[in-house]
Amino acid sequence: MSKDILLAANIPADHVAYYEEFYTIHRLMAAEDKEAFLAEVGPRIDAVLTSGVRGFNKDLLDALPNVKMVSVWGAGLQALDLDTARERGIAVTNTPDNSKIAVAELGVGLLLAACRWIPDGDNVVKSGRWESESYSRLGTGLAGKKCGIVAMGTIGRAVAKRLEAFDLTISYFGPRKKDDLAYTYFDDVEKMAEDSDFLILCCPETDGTRGLIDAAVLKALGEDGILVNIARGKVVDEDALTEALELGGIKAAACDVFADEPRVPKRLRNSDRLVAVPHIGTQLSDVRQKRKELALANLQAFFAGEPMPGFICGPNA
């Protein structure tokens, strides 16, 4: 008999179709009345398939009295209520798919794009304006500059490793100093911003990081400073960022994430000092293929009573 899986997030349609070859998939996100939908299918659900961004919480698990396992499509942990899962004896897995490298590469690309106004230059050529006007907007070089990284975890370290090739001086901010790193450590993000030409955000969204990059930090970064956000949108005060871009408080910003995505405030998205992409940090074919396979492998291993490749917590380790 096929297992019943609750799909609790939006993931690529071809991945869902692949999982449907093995399980009965119930699409929560497609339900008009999600509460009624959960009341109907909840007791039949054996496992949850969700994304690292959307995750799961106690309310969802409470609506699924017989759920035994959660397979997270993605590597993020911040949206997962692991305490409730542990209390309920529910196994939780994710997909350790080297997405940190994909995100780090995008972060470097965004920094380069903002420093050299690459999207703007692309538009000048493609619009035909170059035929009648010269392009005079001055960019910013990387060599010899200082870059501050907010959170020197796996993504922050991957970013730092790649930026070393550009002859940048690297520093970092976080809750504690890393004894294995020679980079300068700051315990105050505002002071690091004041000392930096570029600020790259690599931190998770938590109570401590939400709104961390506020008007004071942007002012410290200064009118020649450039902000790159590959973390989470709510880490940045978007009103303060919009004002800083409009008034020239910072030179530019490059963002993969936004506070209420896919909705981005008009004032912010209309800024010619903003480089913006639609949350594509892990959107690489090789990463997504591995993620697709690992999410299924975790489900299959759990139901077979075998070790799960992306095990985080719960029984059947």
| Residue positions annotated with a catalytic role | 232, 261, 279
Name the burial class of residue 112, with classes exposed (0-12), middle (13-18) and buried (19+) by CB atoms within 10 angstroms of its CB: middle
Task: Please list, residue by residue across 194-233, b when 16 or more beta carbons sit within 10 angstroms of its beta carbon and e when fewer do.
Answer: bebbbbbbbbbbeeebeebbeeebbbbbeeebbbbbbbbb
Going by C-alpha positions, the residue among 276, 206, 264, 275 that lies closest to residue 239 is 264
Distances (CA, A) of 247 to 121, 123, 211, 272: 22, 23, 20, 12
Q: How far is CA 185 from the centre of its chain?
A: 23
Q: Is 205 left (phi over 0), alpha (psi -120 to 50) or beta?
A: beta
3-class SS of residue 18: helix
